[in-house]
Amino acid sequence: MSVTLSDERRDALVSAIRDFAGCLMKKHVRRPLHQFQSLTGWIQWALNVYPLLWPGLSMMYHKMRRKRHRHALIEVSVALRRELHWLADHVEHSSRMFMLRSLSWQVKDADLVIFTDTCFDGMGFWSPQQSLGFQSHLLPVAGTIFFWECLAVLSAIHWAASNVDTPIPQRLVVYCDNTNTVNLFSSLHAQPQYNPLLCSAVDVLLRSNIDLRVLHIPGEINRVADALSRWDIEPPAQCTGGTAAINFPSCSTRQPVRERWSRERLLHERAVALGFALKDSSLLSYSSALQSYLAFCETHQLPVEPTEETLSFYVVYTCHYICPSSIHNYLSGICQQLEAFFPQVRTVRHSKLVSQTLAGCFRTHAHPTTCKSPLTRAQLAETIVSYQQSSSLDDLLFCVLLAMAFHGLLRLGELVLNDNPRLRDCRTVIERASLKLLLNGYRFLLPSSKTDRVFHGAEIIIAGVTSDDDPLALFTCYLRIRDQLFPFHPHLWLCRSGQDPTRLSRLVRDD
């Protein structure tokens, strides 16, 4: 039994879809809701002949969602046009006859069966008939586990259609332990962000003439694919009666010849890299936390080895003397300092006893939040007016940094050096050469910030304003005096002594 569509009706449908979608490059096209509904109903009727083309309506459904007024204008986006053109191309070139017998086959009639699985360590699939499995690490891009499960099924479909060692299967069964993925491929309906996966699968199925079934399998039965996704080689080999082995791909590109390092140099370079893993300020804080823990153990005659009991006692004791919110940082420092000697310290720190003890201390020893008063624009303007006539470089520097931090949303601590010489880092100093004067403002390169751990830097632009808190006029005065006194100094912010400023409070105390 078959369902057919005449050439005239097929050509009319294709023409209607292309007219509705228009050119891919055209922007800001809107059509009323009733036109969306009319075309959608026509396409739904035609999908009885082309059942694999349901992904072509994903964006249509998304656009019409929660729309009620039939004359409401809806934008025909680029994504929608792309889906409609994809649909029209397949309708135009596909067979106009659908054979119902293609739905009557059973799982036992499948030519090829593939099992897939995904976890946050990777994804994998394997074919029992060929005792062949594949695995891959997940790419460092945003994506839910549902996305990766769908991608694993799509990878299995592509492999089945492109495997040169075996003929292309007419009936393909793919097992997956994620019910949402099974429902997606069974219904051929997905949210817009997942619909490209469905479109890619349909492209392969139509091109290779494959009938696909995606079925659910309990996770405890899907052991081989699960082990492949976790990059655990032994369980797949044991389950299939083989031996654990890795087939390394042949090198497709010639690697450059590099110098061979001695073991001593490898150790030295690794030590240098580990030395830069934490900032000096973090190391100082962690060392302080460790000293606090060691003093506690010595006072109470407890072993230094961290256990659930010892850490929970330390939390209770320390919360009586410091704010409980600081205990999180203390515990992090203790773990970092002791991990080399007691590898289980992080597991102990996150144990139920320690976590609940800390939560209880938050409730019993919590302190009210205290915030400093915010700096208003009126206060900033008053400060600028008071100092703008001063010829002292320190006065101008104080006001410039204050106004720049206010208008640029910058942390004052990132603009000056630390008071402690041990915690200073010359890589964070702002250079005079990075300064560029603009028509109504200036810009410079901030080499590092609290969120920039690898010193990529950020370009800061400060624009002038017409009110009394204008940061540009004051900066111009500071720059003129600074360049007169220190024309060859490489740093942008300088005190009258020629030194880099430390904390702003010190500038005030010196005055």
Predicted confidence pLDDT, tens digits, the chain (511 residues): 556 777 788 888 888 888 888 776 666 788 888 888 888 888 888 888 888 888 888 888 888 888 888 888 888 888 888 888 888 888 888 765 554 445 567 888 888 999 999 988 888 998 888 888 888 888 766 567 888 899 999 999 999 888 777 788 888 999 999 899 999 998 888 888 888 998 999 999 888 888 889 999 998 888 888 888 888 766 555 555 555 555 555 555 566 777 888 888 888 888 777 766 656 666 667 788 888 888 888 888 988 889 999 999 999 998 888 888 888 888 988 888 888 888 899 999 999 999 999 889 888 887 777 777 888 888 888 888 888 788 888 888 889 998 988 988 888 877 888 777 777 777 788 899 999 999 999 999 888 766 666 667 788 899 988 888 889 988 999 999 999 999 999 999 899 888 888 865 444 444 4
What is the residue type of 138? Answer: L
What pLDDT shows up at residue 504? 52
Roughly how many angstroms between the first and final C-alpha of the chain, as a whole number? Answer: 96
**Alpha carbon distances (Å) from 20 to 25, 276, 484:** 14, 59, 68
Backbone angles phi, psi at 260, to 5 degrees: -85, 125
State the CATH architecture for 393-510.
Alpha-Beta Complex (3.90)
What pLDDT shows up at residue 99? 46
What pLDDT shows up at residue 505? 47
Rounded distance, CA 176 to CA 237, Å?
20
Query: Are 88 and 18 within 8 A, CB to CB?
Result: yes
User: Any alpha helices (H) in 94-127, and if so which ranges?
Assistant: none
Query: Are 228 and 124 within 8 A, CB to CB?
Result: yes
Q: Which of 176, 161, 270 minimizes the C-alpha distance to 229?
A: 176
Query: Are 189 and 210 within 8 A, CB to CB?
Result: no
What pLDDT shows up at residue 386? 84
What pLDDT shows up at residue 506? 46
Q: Which two tokens stand for residue 237?
A: 């080999």
User: Any alpha helices (H) in 388-501, and if so which ranges?
Assistant: 393-408, 471-485
Q: Which of 48, 44, 72 minimizes the C-alpha distance to 60?
A: 44
**Alpha carbon distances (Å) from 398 to 146, 405, 473, 503, 508:** 53, 11, 14, 10, 8
Rounded distance, CA 213 to CA 226, Å?
20
Residue 202, burial from CB neighbour count under 10 angstroms (0-12, 13-18, 19+) = buried
Rounded distance, CA 399 to CA 107, Å?
77
Q: Which two tokens stand for residue 43?
A: 């396409």
Domain ranges (residues) in the chain: 2-101, 107-240, 275-364, 393-510
Half-sphere exposure of 86 (CA within 13 A, CB side): 23
Rounded distance, CA 411 to CA 404, Å?
10
What is the residue type of 225? Answer: A
| Phi-psi label, residue 247: left if phi above 0, alpha if psi -120 to 50, beta otherwise | beta
Residue 356, burial from CB neighbour count under 10 angstroms (0-12, 13-18, 19+) = exposed
pTM of the entire predicted model: 0.47
What CATH number labels 107-240? 3.30.420.10
> Which fold, 2-101?
Alpha-Beta Plaits (3.30.70)
Helix H or strand E encompassing 283: helix 280-299
CATH superfamily of domain region 275-364: Tyrosine recombinase, N-terminal domain (1.10.150.130)
